[in-house]
Amino acid sequence: MTTTTAKSKVLPPPTERYSLLGWLHKNLFSTWYNALLTLFAAWLTYAMLKPTLTWIFGEARWDVISANLKLFMIGRYPIEQEWRVWAALFLLTWVIGLSWGSWVKKFELSGLVLLLIPVFMALLPFSMDDRLKILGLSVFSLIGYVIAKSQPATFSKVSIFAWLLYFPVGLLIIRGLTGDEGFFPVVDTQLWGGLMLTVLLSVLGIMFSFPIGVSLALGRQSKLPIISWISIGFIETIRGVPLITILFMMDLMLPLFLPSEIRIESIIRALVGITFFSAAYMAENVRGGLQSIPRGQHEASHALGLSGFQTMAFIIMPQALRAVIPILVSQFIGLLKDTTLVMILSLFDILGIGKAVLGNPDYIGTSREVYLFIAAVFWILSYGMSYASQRLETALGLGER
């Protein structure tokens, strides 16, 4: 046996020194071909960026966006009722603030960033009125945050109810309930449009397809043949057809089955089509997650005396869903973009509004501006979802296993 020094020294890890030149050398100019590549890439970036930026800040006619902003945001929703959309938004930011304050334990930078987004947006050239309302969003979320922080334990439960209540209440505010007259007149859903419609269809599509998809995934594995056949039939039929076909079917075929007095609003038909479509994919993704859970987890749970349902609810499903968060988020991002197909149900989502605006002779030749704007909106939404999912994954410790 050999003995080393009684106390071997505990050393800190070696620190790497960073200097700008060192970094440049290491990453960009380490070899002659690397240097060549760097120079070429720099030239290419410049060549492409320069005309783009000159166009964006010089020639582009952004008035097509600012003049039609209301259309882009809420479609043909009557202007005198616009405050109701704001009300729903205020409520939303308040609920977000509430859950933030009660669920997120330590102070987080991302919370502050989220809070500041409206502040930055208020710097954009909106009308004074709109700027105030946008700032109001920040204020409402801050109020929710402060309220929740005062008693996190109680408000963590309250915020779950708040979310459950938010969707029916928010929809009711936007839709109205007092017939055609009065303080809260019904706004025909045919008039809903723009970003509001895009977001509504995606969010509701995701919310409804989630439980249906999970049930289908479980149904497919069911020991009862009837249930598994129905689930497999549904999943495979829907997955075998493009979404646009499903939406056509909703538009053309549904009226054939229903008595002629019953006219289902286009938005409902779109939502049902989107939900079914998403649920079928969701089911397959969840099934993949279920199969990835080792048999030992089922066995340990059964050995402890937990029933089949309890095993699924407490052991298998939570792990399966965690494992498929990244796939589900890609699927939901796909869903968000697929909502543009509701155009064929003569609904005007943000892309539909863009096309309609371009049909206006005043705005001939502005398609670049319009499509770039729409692309930017979709990019922000998609990136937001993807960022949120990464945060969720780290919060749930997905990488730790």
Partner 1 sequence: MSENNNNDPIIVCQDVHKWYGQFHALRGIDMEVRKGEVIVIFGPSGSGKSTFIRTINRLEEHQSGQIVVDSIELTHDVRNIEAIRKETGMVFQQFNLFPHLTVLQNITLAPLQVHKWKKEKAEEIAMQLLERVGIPEQAEKFPGQLSGGQQQRVAIARALAMQLKIMLFDEPTSALDPEMIKEVLDVMTELAESGMTMLVVTHEMGFARSVADRMFFFDEGQIVESGSPEDIYNNPQEDRTKLFLSQILQH
Q: Which positions lie near partner 1, rule CB under 8 A?
A: 294, 296-297, 299-307, 310, 314-315, 318-319, 322, 396-397, 400-401
Nearer to partner 1, 1 or 47 (CB): 1
As measured in angstroms, the least distance from the Cβ of 306 to partner 1 is 6
DSSP state, 399?
G
Nearer to partner 1, 278 or 301 (CB): 301
Nearer to partner 1, 7 or 295 (CB): 295
Indicate the SS3 state at residue 75.
Answer: strand
Nearer to partner 1, 75 or 289 (CB): 289
Length of the chain counted residue by residue: 401
As measured in angstroms, the least distance from the Cβ of 380 to partner 1 is 32
Residues near 105 by beta carbon (within 8 Å), at least 6 away in sequence: none
As measured in angstroms, the least distance from the Cβ of 369 to partner 1 is 48
As measured in angstroms, the least distance from the Cβ of 310 to partner 1 is 5
As measured in angstroms, the least distance from the Cβ of 7 to partner 1 is 22
In the structure encoding, which two tokens stand for residue 125, read together? 């050239």
Q: In Å, how far are 17, 92, 352 from 162, measured between CA atoms?
A: 50, 10, 33
Indicate the SS3 state at residue 348.
Answer: strand
As measured in angstroms, the least distance from the Cβ of 297 to partner 1 is 6
As measured in angstroms, the least distance from the Cβ of 290 to partner 1 is 14
CA 208/CA 276 separation, integer angstroms: 9
Specify which residues 193 forms β-bridges with: 348
Write phi, then psi, for 5 (nearest 5 degrees). -50, 140
CA 324/CA 337 separation, integer angstroms: 20
35-45 core/surface letters (b: 16 or more CB in 10 A; e: else): eeeeeeeeeee
Nearer to partner 1, 182 or 318 (CB): 318
* E strands, 321-387, in order: 348-349
DSSP state, 398?
G
Nearer to partner 1, 106 or 263 (CB): 106
Nearer to partner 1, 117 or 306 (CB): 306
CA 236/CA 282 separation, integer angstroms: 12
As measured in angstroms, the least distance from the Cβ of 291 to partner 1 is 17
As measured in angstroms, the least distance from the Cβ of 194 to partner 1 is 40
First to last CA, the chain: 38
Judge contact between 276 and 353, C-beta under 8 A. no
Nearer to partner 1, 70 or 302 (CB): 302
Nearer to partner 1, 310 or 340 (CB): 310
- The burial class, CB within 10 Å (0-12 / 13-18 / 19+), for 208 is middle
Q: Closest Cα partner for 130 from 82, 76, 193, 198?
A: 82
Consecutive H or E run containing 391: helix 367-395
Consecutive H or E run containing 319: helix 317-323
Nearer to partner 1, 156 or 340 (CB): 156
